[in-house]
Amino acid sequence: EHTMYKSYPISLLGNRRFDMLTGWLNKLTSVDLSKVDVKGCDSIDGWLDAVFDQSGLDVMTSSGSTGTMSFLPRTAQDYAKGLRSNRVTELQTFGQAPTDTALNGVFHVIWPNYADGHVSSFRSGQYQKAAMAGGREDHFHPLYHEKGSSDLMWLAAQMRAAAARGDASRIEAPPSLLARRDELAKQQAGMRGRQLSFIGEVAEQLKGQLVYCIGPTYPLWQVAQRGKDKGGSREFAPGSFIRT
């Protein structure tokens, strides 16, 4: 069950016991993590980098919206299989032979998020680039080109959980992470304000191109409505796909 992937003691994250977390994670995957050395890791991102570099296991994290972050062990083959399935479910029509575009088309990927990271909504961008854009950097259009931080996402979850308890002052996170609260606030405010303008700008640039766009519903709807108000219709090449 999904709860298994967050069944570790929450104190292990707060106390930076990444050795014990690696032992726990080793029970949830067929990839051998017994020789992974996480000494010196002082962040969630650093820990997951070490696991990936030493074992090839690309652990995906949830956003931790409930206050507890899930850690989902995935391999590159897992990601590739999932995204190949997307081509079947999203780009083909039941009862008709698939087009060459659906099977092999190289899309411009509009990605209004961080280009990389360990949080699922960040990391999957790299696999979308490989699967849908043929690995081409000039066909991958992220909102932010840098990696998003799992640690800041976890801090945000801890702050929400504390507020829900009615005790916003009690957050179970190390001081080094608590010191980044201002950075988190600026990041969240900046993303909300930037997504709409970013999607509109990139959509304008990619008129007539084969596009695969994944993004939050509201800014996508706003961009579409503005285009409709200007008399626009079917601005992208046939075979394009927008997913909210």
The residue ranges of the chain whose pLDDT is under 50 are none
pTM above 0.85, yes or no: yes
pLDDT at 167: 66
Q: Can you give the pLDDT at residue 116? A: 95
CA 75 from centroid of its chain's CA atoms: 15
So what's the pLDDT on residue 35?
96
DSSP per-residue codes, the chain: -GGGGG-S-THHHHTT-HHHHHHHHGGG-SS--TT---TT--SHHHHHHHHHHHH----EE---TTSS--EE---HHHHHHHHHHHHHHHH--TTSPPPHHHHH---EEEEEEEEE-SBHHHHHHHHHHHHHSTT-GGGEEEEEEEEPPHHHHHHHHHHHHHHHHT-TT---S-HHHHTTHHHHHHHHHHHHHHHHHHHHHHHHHTTTS-EEEE--HHHHHHHHHHHHHTT----SPTT-EEE-
